[in-house]
Amino acid sequence: MFSWLSKDEGRRREPELYNTVVDGLRKIYKSKILPLEEHYLFHEFHSPPLDDPDFDAKPMILLVGQYSTGKTTFIKYLLEKDFPGIRIGPEPTTDRFIAVMYGQQETVIPGNALLLIPRSSILSGEKQRVDRGYDFAGVLEWFAERVDRIILLFDAHKLDISDEFRRSIEALRGHDDKIRIILNKADMIDHQQLMRVYGALMWSLGKVLNTPEVARVYLGSFWDQPLRFDHNRKLFEAEEQDLFQDLQGLPRNAALRKLNDLIKRARLAKVHAYIISSLRNNMPSMFGKDNKKKELIKNLRNIYEEIQRVHHLPPGDFPDLRDMQEKLMGMDFTKFQPLKPRLLDAVDKMLAEDIARLMAQIPQEQHMQSKEESNVKGGAFDGVQQSPFTYGRGEGVDAGSMDTEWIVGKERYKYDDIFQSLNPVDGKISGAGAKSEMMKSKLPNTVLGKVWKLSDIDKDGMLDSDEFALAMHLINIKLQGHDLAVRFTRTFSTAFEEDFRPLKGFLDRFYRAY
């Protein structure tokens, strides 16, 4: 008789399917989070509502620093060219945000535009007292919610943090996972001074960031001029490579970042609803409203603690106390709405079910993006690719890749003497004999096991003189601080094949195995 009710109920229970993670985030925000935000005036206290461009936007980087720290030069270094509107100088060259983005033609667009690398100078000293004409910290907070990476740029000669810069960094709180630090112009000081400057920077940041984890700091000199002190050249190259890898991973992790930001927004909206409804419930119906309002604002900390205790909410989900008190001063508490459980239940269900399904889709999307080579390209990211100046080229396991002779052959005489001392039988030594010699390196067994797999080309459990020489060479590479390859490249083994033709068949079988 009522079979149609059960069928309809079953349809409602079926989880909604989403084409992509971003599509799912957009739908659950508009259907479950946005109604809660609108009902409790969330947008008047915190952040404007999210629109479609907030979900569809390409990865963005927010570059922030005090004037003359090299922000414009840093962008130019990445692009390897000037960009429209560029202006470089020791004085404050801008008091506004500039958005740099890809386009088919070079042009300057005033006003609002899609963003790639927004940047703005922080004033210091007397200059910061000049009114910018807009809420600088508020704009920074708006950007911080939407960008994928926040880069704070410091000059090795100017580590002082002005009052405005301090307020700017404080506006970025809640987005600590996005923040990276660059200590620029590090080539202008020697290695001893650099160590002291790095320590001073960490000490200064520790008083401002207030995070349990140490922020990642990249050292370098990001411009196209010769290094003044090149003692740290290797360090600068390694730091630049780490920074580039971090930036190249942004497209692949963009969906995960948006999901994480939406979770934080949903939790804040939920806490905000509890705060607003609690204030509404404590207001008198007729007389003494102004005095009660002042009392509630003054005792807002107690309201926070009560909400945390009753609803089991972590303190980290709550908005800044002072900021909330300031905003409440200008609000009419009589317009606040009482608690509406249906809206809160929708958000709780979204966090428990919808987010879990979207999380399960992310690995698959990342795998598809890796096949499509979604890394950042162009400019400095391609400048030294496939050349002798590629990072790590000719070093470690890649040593000898640009030579015509096999790199192992250069010290072959040393390895042959050791090999003969191990009393080979029929031109080979056993695994036990090789182990006794390889253990002298004091490397972990996991590393030595990897060396063995790479060296035992014919997989017979023994090593001939050629394989033993290769094993000793790989051990030396590891002892010098380099990583070992997962497998040999054709370039690495070309000279090996030419100099030791009897092993060519073994190498061919080795390549086919991988």
What pLDDT band is residue 10 in, cutting at 50, 70 and 90?
A: very low
Tell me what pLDDT residue 388 has.
Answer: 63
Q: What percent of the chain has pLDDT over 70?
A: 77
Tell me what pLDDT residue 205 has.
Answer: 83
Tell me what pLDDT residue 166 has.
Answer: 85
Across 121-130, 304-313, 320-329, least confident range: 121-130
Contact (CB, 8 A) for 340 and 316: no
Tell me what pLDDT residue 89 has.
Answer: 60
- Contacts of range 504-509, beta carbons closer than 8 Å, 24 or more positions apart: 506/457, 506/458, 507/457, 509/458
Across 147-151, 204-208, 306-310, 384-388, least confident range: 384-388
Contact (CB, 8 A) for 437 and 422: yes
What pLDDT band is residue 387 in, cutting at 50, 70 and 90?
A: low
Across 11-15, 170-174, 270-274, 375-379, least confident range: 11-15
Mean per-residue pLDDT, 361-379:
71
Contact (CB, 8 A) for 337 and 277: yes
CA distances from 476 to 34, 399, 400, 467 (A): 60, 12, 14, 14
- Does 492 have pLDDT greater than 50? no
Helix axes 321-329, 300-311, angle to 10 degrees: 120
- Does 338 have pLDDT greater than 60? yes
Mean per-residue pLDDT, 195-213:
83
Tell me what pLDDT residue 279 has.
Answer: 92
What pLDDT band is residue 25 in, cutting at 50, 70 and 90?
A: very high
Helix axes 504-513, 490-499, angle to 10 degrees: 160
> CA 371, 377, 383, 386: dihedral to nearest 10 degrees?
10
Mean per-residue pLDDT, 296-315:
93
Tell me what pLDDT residue 398 has.
Answer: 65
Tell me what pLDDT residue 14 has.
Answer: 60
Query: In whole angstroms, what is the distance from residue 498 CA to residue 493 CA?
Result: 9
Mean per-residue pLDDT, 395-424:
76
Tell me what pLDDT residue 308 has.
Answer: 94
Query: In whole angstroms, what is the distance from residue 121 CA to residue 67 CA?
Result: 5
Tell me what pLDDT residue 385 has.
Answer: 61
Query: In whole angstroms, what is the distance from residue 514 CA to residue 78 CA?
Result: 36
Tell me what pLDDT residue 344 has.
Answer: 94
Tell me what pLDDT residue 454 has.
Answer: 87
Tell me what pLDDT residue 405 has.
Answer: 67
Mean pLDDT of the chain: 80
Q: What is the pLDDT of residues 220-258, one digit of tens each?
A: 988 888 888 888 888 888 898 899 889 888 888 888 899
- Does 175 have pLDDT greater than 50? yes
Task: Collapse the DSSP code of 353 into the 3-class scheme (helix H, G, I; strand E, B; otherwise coil) and give the result.
Answer: helix
What pLDDT band is residue 498 in, cutting at 50, 70 and 90?
A: very low
